[in-house]
A and B are shown apart, each in its own frame.
Chain A
Amino acid sequence: MVTKPESKFTRRGMLKTMAAGTGAIAATSALPGLSGFAQAQSSAPIKIGFQVHRTGIGAAYGRWYNRTTEAAVKRINDMGGINGRPVELVAEDDGTDPKRGAEVVEKFATQHECDIAFGTLFSHVVYGSSPRAGELKLPYFVVSEGHHVASGKLNRYTLQPGITDVKSQVQAMAPFVANNLGKKVTMIFPDFAFGHDHRDFFTAAIEAQGGEVVEHIAIPPTETSFSKYFPRIPRETEVIYHVMVGPAVLTFVKELGEFFGPSSPEIFGFIDSLEAVDIKSPGLEFLEGTYFWEGNPRNAQADQTSHDKAYRAAVGVDDNGASVEDAQDVSTYSHMFGCWETLNIIKRGMETAGYQGPADRAKLIEAVEAMSDMPLSDDHPQGAKRFNGKTHQTFGHQYISKVSDGKLVVEHTTSIEDGLYEDEVDYTTQSF
């Protein structure tokens, strides 16, 4: 894992914490928003509208996004808030629905009068909400890993500074797959936009590595049984590349194992197929020895950083990536760090911009656009990032883990450069 010296931002944050004093910290955590924010010109809280998938298909992710976000906000408040003002989270359920998503964004902007909106995961909700955020001039920080932001389809008010997009993730996987697992790949992915991104970006990336995709198998999203599609896997396949989302993922992985029995090719999957699922679930034994992309290693590694340790403790995740209260309750560890990191970026952005209120929203965006390298730190426990202010997209390290004894052990960490690609847009040229 790459470690870089801590940035001035973090140091400043630490100094501030110390300045606030130990007594103040205790008071702050007990009564956020009432005391301990002495520096603020206005002590009114900064309101962050949190668009959360509490219901609908995204609920499993939403719950953990919620826990991570609350932990991050608590930490920020414990450290003295933003510009000395406490942060208040206004959470609204979007039902994982693009129509409701847009309505929720309107609600943040015009009813709750939030300073910014934040936290969306599912791409279709981002697409549905982003135009409204742009029109309402509400900075909209998404944690979605979709390629939507960097593709230029959205607007200047929409940013994704806390999590790498799928194009970059996928591209960074190709060298490892081609060099260690095999050159002839069969891809299995859901037949909708997220799956198509994987199909398009990985196919191109593996060809660049001298490999090829011998078969694309797109699974209809309403499907609940999968075995009938597996005979399409060509015999010459050296590597299976799988990525599935939704409640049927476990069935998918299980049936994949049952199909191959004892003689399978190498298997490489995106952990999306098993987010919030215990890898020791019955039927998943065959995953032993297979590889996964992880956005952030679910199992605490031997070389765990202090940052990951602190982050895990703050969110309430044990060393196996499950809730400390319930070992059955597995987190969405590869995605939810994005909430934590995004909130810290928002804080830095607001502090740099001297953010006072909605009138300074453009300044906030400019401040974030000006950011670039973000070193590994308590603010960025997943690893260092490089933010591209023009495309509003961040780029980070990716992890490739192997399942051994039911644990995900990191085999390879990609560099930030592995995931870089040419800019497709320059949002900074758009007017506010």
Chain B
Amino acid sequence: MTDSQRSQLLHLGVIALLFVAFFVLPTYHVGNLSRIMVLAVYAIGYNFLFGYTGLLSLGHALFFAAGMYGLGLSMELFDLTTAPALMVGLASALIVSAVIGFLALRTSGVSFMIVTLMFAQAGYLTILYFGSYTRGDEGFVIQQADRVLFGLDLSNDTARYFAALVLFSVCFLAVARLVQSPFGRTLVAIRENEERARMLGYNTVAHKLKAVVISGTIAGVAGAAYALLFGYAGATFATVQYSIFPLLWVLLGGAGTTIGPLIGVIFMFYLIDLSSDITSAYMLIAGVVLVLLTLFAPQGLAGELRKRVFKWMP
């Protein structure tokens, strides 16, 4: 079996596992998984930029929120139905990430991180400033009756799970394929050594901009899906905290691995969920675990697995 066949098997296996999980896991965990899959899409988008292109953004919450509000506001204010509203969400994230990418890519390294952070902060404040439309921090509910896509009631647990699974699978497979393509490999080259890549004749700026837009759009799709599947849009999702989350998920799961984002989200979710059962000081446990992971699993969970066991892993 070649490495690429193995990777394909792994990817399909993950999807099959998630499919089966719906039938075997208790309701609670099925519910969690729907949410985890949507957040994993967010993490996949983030990983595309951070893990594969090597750009550390702290502004992804804005892309997530662009998708979320693009969908939410177009439904709330203009009574759009789900499918066109999803398109609006996707388009908003695409436009926002293109503009911010264009400006922020004038910088690099830590400056890139700070510029994206500041644009996101300005975006967050803008959501609050237009509170009469967005309801600011409080946000708004997307009514159950509106959350219907192609006749499917997405507020129903089963429909929600499979909608999340489809979205996850599409993004997961598409990104896994993309990073193996010449374009994706060039991004890796830029991550490894941008100057070398440029001096091989690659237009690294254009590549990075494309990466920001793809990454931001995927994040936005996750935001739109979150609003749609869980019925709520709010400014909390545009705060810095929600830019740090995907970074954390990706680093924990394994940056630059295809399954790292999913693993990172699952790990972080259950770390909080299980430790909060034991103690109200669950953040303390989470903190200690994070520190231990950096000490003993520096490549993230999937990254360590690749380093130690499955060298072929994508």
Do A and B interact? Answer: yes
The chain A residues found within 8 Å of chain B, CB to CB, are: 54-55, 92-93, 97-100, 102-103, 106-107, 110-111, 123-124, 127-128, 130-132, 134-135, 146, 148, 153-155, 191-194, 196, 220-222
A132 and B231 alpha carbons, distance in the complex (Å): 8
Is B267 engaged at the interface, CB distance under 8 Å to the other chain? no
Which A residues touch B230, using CB under 8 A? 102, 128, 131-132
A221 and B28 alpha carbons, distance in the complex (Å): 35
**In the complex, are the beta carbons of A192 and B131 less than 8 A apart?**
yes
Which A residues touch B276, using CB under 8 A? 92-93
A110-B27 contact, Cβ under 8 Å, with A93-B280, A98-B139, A221-B128: yes
A103 and B282 alpha carbons, distance in the complex (Å): 15
A interface footprint on B207-237 (CB within 8 Å = 1, 0 otherwise) = 0000000000000000000000011101111
**In the complex, are the beta carbons of A191 and B236 less than 8 A apart?**
no
Residue on A nearest B127 in the bound complex, by CB: A192
A221 and B131 alpha carbons, distance in the complex (Å): 12
A interface footprint on B151-186 (CB within 8 Å = 1, 0 otherwise) = 000011100000000000000000000000000000
A85 and B276 alpha carbons, distance in the complex (Å): 27
Cβ contact of A196, chosen from B31, B136, B141, cutoff 8 A = B136
**In the complex, are the beta carbons of B144 and A192 less than 8 A apart?**
no
A interface footprint on B231-275 (CB within 8 Å = 1, 0 otherwise) = 110111100000000000000000000000000000000001100
- Please give me the 3 A-B residue pairs with the lowest Cβ-Cβ distance, nearest first: A131-B231, A193-B138, A111-B28
**In the complex, are the beta carbons of B141 and A192 less than 8 A apart?**
no
Residues of B128-144 whose CB lies within 8 A of A: 128-129, 131-132, 135-142, 144
A54 and B280 alpha carbons, distance in the complex (Å): 8
Which A residues touch B135, using CB under 8 A? 127, 193
Which A residues touch B60, using CB under 8 A? none
Cβ contact of B138, chosen from A55, A123, A222, cutoff 8 A = A123
**In the complex, are the beta carbons of A98 and B232 less than 8 A apart?**
yes
**In the complex, are the beta carbons of B35 and A127 less than 8 A apart?**
no
A194 and B234 alpha carbons, distance in the complex (Å): 13
In this complex, which of B156, B280, B282 has the most chain A Cβ atoms within 10 angstroms of its Cβ? B280
A-B contact pairs, 14 of them (CB 8 A): A55-B283, A97-B236, A99-B237, A106-B32, A110-B26, A124-B235, A127-B139, A127-B140, A127-B232, A148-B138, A193-B135, A193-B136, A196-B131, A222-B125
B254 CB to closest chain A CB, in angstroms? 23
A141 and B156 alpha carbons, distance in the complex (Å): 22
Which B residues touch A131, using CB under 8 A? 141-142, 144, 155, 230-232
A101 CB to closest chain B CB, in angstroms? 9
**In the complex, are the beta carbons of A130 and B136 less than 8 A apart?**
no
Residue on B nearest A107 in the bound complex, by CB: B28
Which A residues touch B156, using CB under 8 A? 135
The dominant DSSP class at the A interface is: helix
Residue on B nearest A147 in the bound complex, by CB: B138
Which A residues touch B232, using CB under 8 A? 98, 102, 127-128, 131
A155 and B35 alpha carbons, distance in the complex (Å): 21
The chain B residues found within 8 Å of chain A, CB to CB, are: 26-28, 31-32, 35, 125, 128-129, 131-132, 135-142, 144, 155-157, 230-232, 234-237, 272-273, 276, 280, 282-283
Which B residues touch A111, using CB under 8 A? 26, 28
Cβ contact of A191, chosen from B136, B138, B139, B280, cutoff 8 A = B136
**What 15 additional pairs, Cβ within 8 angstroms, besides A127-B232, A194-B138?**
A92-B276, A98-B234, A99-B236, A102-B35, A103-B32, A111-B28, A124-B138, A124-B234, A127-B138, A127-B139, A128-B139, A131-B232, A153-B141, A192-B137, A220-B125
**In the complex, are the beta carbons of B236 and A193 less than 8 A apart?**
no
A425 CB to closest chain B CB, in angstroms? 12
**In the complex, are the beta carbons of A106 and B28 less than 8 A apart?**
yes
**In the complex, are the beta carbons of B142 and A193 less than 8 A apart?**
no
A130-B141 contact, Cβ under 8 Å, with A135-B155, A191-B131: yes
A193 and B137 alpha carbons, distance in the complex (Å): 6
**In the complex, are the beta carbons of A135 and B32 less than 8 A apart?**
no
Which A residues touch B273, using CB under 8 A? 103, 107
In this complex, which of B27, B139, B155, B230 has the most chain A Cβ atoms within 10 angstroms of its Cβ? B230
Which A residues touch B283, using CB under 8 A? 55
A12 and B171 alpha carbons, distance in the complex (Å): 60
A429 CB to closest chain B CB, in angstroms? 14
A93 and B281 alpha carbons, distance in the complex (Å): 10
Residue on B nearest A104 in the bound complex, by CB: B276
**In the complex, are the beta carbons of A103 and B142 less than 8 A apart?**
no
A154 and B144 alpha carbons, distance in the complex (Å): 10
A153 and B138 alpha carbons, distance in the complex (Å): 12
Which B residues touch A130, using CB under 8 A? 141
A402 and B81 alpha carbons, distance in the complex (Å): 52
Residue on B nearest A102 in the bound complex, by CB: B230
B85 CB to closest chain A CB, in angstroms? 16
A315 CB to closest chain B CB, in angstroms? 19
Residue on A nearest B132 in the bound complex, by CB: A196
Cβ contact of A124, chosen from B26, B139, B155, B157, cutoff 8 A = B139
A117 CB to closest chain B CB, in angstroms? 14
Which B residues touch A103, using CB under 8 A? 32, 35, 273
